[in-house]
Amino acid sequence: MADRISVMLTEEEIDARIRQMGEEITKDYEGKELVLICTLKGAVFFACELAKRIDLPSQMEFMRCESYGNSDTSSGNVKLLLDLDQDIAGKHVLVIEDIVDTGRTLSYLMEKLKNRKPASLKLAALLDKPERRVIDIKADYTGFTIPDKFVVGYGLDYAQNYRQLPYIGVVEVVD
């Protein structure tokens, strides 16, 4: 009954890459302050690790979107469940997302944030699955580009399970 999970990215590989991303972001925003927006729930693990590696004054905010569809594909209908509690007008905003898949959730979210007139708006995603893209959206910082496989761990879930795994793996459902 238990699902088998094969490791795609180890904890060490992920941590090393997040460290590099943090250094790159620190350089790019030198002398600025950042508002980091972590999208719930999937990006929580990545956002915490990345925030620790960004050596700049920053604030952390949370947003949550829900897209209607079946459990592993998002539909076009996205709804905002949790919004920011600060005004981002004139601020440098970096959205932190777990994975860019079809791009539907992010295009909705980025558009919403853009309308609030931040000084700048960029996107950092731990994973990118370009083969699945429906809406043309690209992260400014990408951890890993992966093939079209459903992955779990490091915050990513399969029916709310496996978020806590310290690595990223592919579920093989066994029954």
Question: What radius of gyration do the chain's Cα atoms show?
Answer: 16
Let me know if 101 is a catalytic residue. Answer: yes
Closest CA to 169 of 10, 13, 2, 1: 10
Instruction: Decide: is 156 part of the binding site for ligand IMP (CB under 6 A).
Output: yes
Q: At 121, which amino acid appears?
A: L
Asked if residue 98 binds ligand IMP (CB under 6 A), the reply is: yes
What is the SS3 assignment for 3? Answer: coil
- 103 in contact with ligand IMP (CB under 6 A): yes
Minimum CB distance to ligand IMP smaller for 102 or for 110: 102
Tokens of 96: 């932190």
In the set 55, 85, 87, 101, the catalytic residue is 101
Asked if 149 and 170 count as a contact pair (C-beta separation under 8 A), the reply is yes
Whose Cβ is closer to Mg ion: residue 34's or residue 99's?
Answer: 99
Q: What one-letter code names the amino acid at 28? A: D
Q: How far is the CB of 116 from ligand IMP (least distance, A)?
A: 20
Q: How far is the CB of 97 from Mg ion (least distance, A)?
A: 11
Of the two residues 27 and 138, which places its CB atom closer to ligand IMP in the complex? 138
Query: What does 99 interact with, of Mg ion, ligand IMP, none (CB < 5 to 8 A by kind)?
Result: ligand IMP
For helices 11-28 and 44-52, the axis angle rounded to 10 degrees is 60
What does each C-alpha distance from 28 to 5, 16, 118, 158 come to in angstroms? 36, 19, 17, 34
Nearer to ligand IMP, 91 or 104 (CB): 104
Which residues here bind ligand IMP, judged by CB under 6 A? Answer: 42, 67, 74, 98-106, 150-152, 156-157
Q: Which residues are catalytic?
A: 101
